[in-house]
């Protein structure tokens, strides 16, 4: 079995619009780039990840990543397109995760994959228990799991699993549950990571 990670990556200039009142464009760009680097580091530390693919309209400087062009029809369409591309290349397991999970670890990623392999599907909800920060699923022509990332996605993914007569294994781990969407998340990020996010301190002091 071969589990690949799939990430959808927006343009850094367009990402994290909800933080626009707190962070200027340059700082948001730096935040997005650092979080993406942290997610890649966690994936590379995981023992069960065979490769990393990124669906994006951007150019990727890292040659070790498989770049898949974003068709431009929204997040779920981008991820479904990426999943289809990987399935066509013979990948049979998929871990979808967001690019704004700076506290994720390789151990947590392996834990989610193990739960998915044991039960068939696995999900890591966000800290509110409403969104889906990471999702494990098998890739096969016989299993057409529709993606529902966005508002209320945790419940919608549970409903989708039930439509396929399957149950999602819920994996609650701190690194995969913590995403960065609001100004208060930045304070928690600074407290948890220190040095590599110190560039946020000035902006937060001024806000």
Predicted local distance difference test score (pLDDT) of residue 109: 98
Dihedral through CA 131, CA 162, CA 77, CA 20, nearest 10?
-10
Predicted local distance difference test score (pLDDT) of residue 171: 98
Give ∠ CA 129-136-168 in degrees, rounded to 5.
55
Tens digit of each residue's pLDDT, the chain (207 residues): 689 999 999 876 666 667 877 888 888 889 999 999 999 999 999 999 999 999 999 899 899 999 999 988 899 999 999 999 999 999 999 999 999 999 999 999 999 999 999 999 999 999 999 999 999 999 986 678 999 999 999 999 999 999 999 989 999 999 999 999 888 898 899 888 868 899 888 777 665
Predicted local distance difference test score (pLDDT) of residue 7: 97
Predicted local distance difference test score (pLDDT) of residue 25: 85
Predicted local distance difference test score (pLDDT) of residue 72: 86
| Residue 99: Cβ within 10 Å count | 22
Predicted local distance difference test score (pLDDT) of residue 181: 85
Domain of 31, CATH number, reads 3.90.550.10
The number of domains in the chain is 1
Predicted model pTM:
0.93
Rg, the chain, Cα only: 17
CB 94 within 8 A of CB 139: yes
Burial (CB count <10 Å: 0-12, 13-18, 19+), residue 19: buried
Among candidate residues 13, 9, 29, 20, the one with its CA nearest the CA of residue 199 = 29
Predicted local distance difference test score (pLDDT) of residue 122: 97
Helix/strand/coil for 68: strand
User: CA-CA distance, 110 to 117, in Å (whole number)?
Assistant: 10
Side-chain half-sphere of 3: how many Cα atoms within 13 Å? Answer: 23
Domain range spanning residue 88? 3-206
Helix/strand/coil for 80: helix
Predicted local distance difference test score (pLDDT) of residue 98: 96
């Amino acid at each position: 079995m071969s589990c690949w990670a799939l990430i959808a990556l927006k343009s850094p200039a367009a990402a994290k619009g909800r933080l626009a009142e707190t962070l200027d464009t340059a700082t948001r760009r730096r935040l997005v780039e650092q979080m993406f680097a942290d997610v890649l580091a966690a994936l590379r530390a995981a023992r069960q990840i065979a490769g990393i693919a990124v669906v994006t309209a951007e150019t990727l400087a890292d040659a070790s990543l498989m770049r898949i062009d974003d068709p431009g029809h929204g997040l779920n369409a981008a991820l479904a397109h990426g999943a289809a591309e990987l399935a066509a290349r013979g990948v049979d397991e998929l871990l979808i995760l967001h690019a704004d999970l700076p506290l994720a670890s390789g151990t947590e990623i392996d834990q989610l994959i193990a739960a998915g392999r044991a039960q068939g599907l696995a999900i890591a909800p966000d800290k509110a228990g409403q969104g889906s920060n990471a999702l494990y699923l098998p890739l096969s022509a016989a299993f057409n799991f529709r993606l529902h990332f966005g508002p209320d996605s945790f419940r919608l993914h549970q409903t989708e699993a039930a439509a396929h007569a399957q149950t999602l294994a819920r994996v609650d781990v701190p690194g995969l549950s913590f995403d960065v969407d609001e100004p208060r998340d930045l304070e928690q990020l600074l407290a948890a990571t220190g040095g590599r996010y110190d560039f946020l301190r000035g902006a937060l002091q001024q806000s």
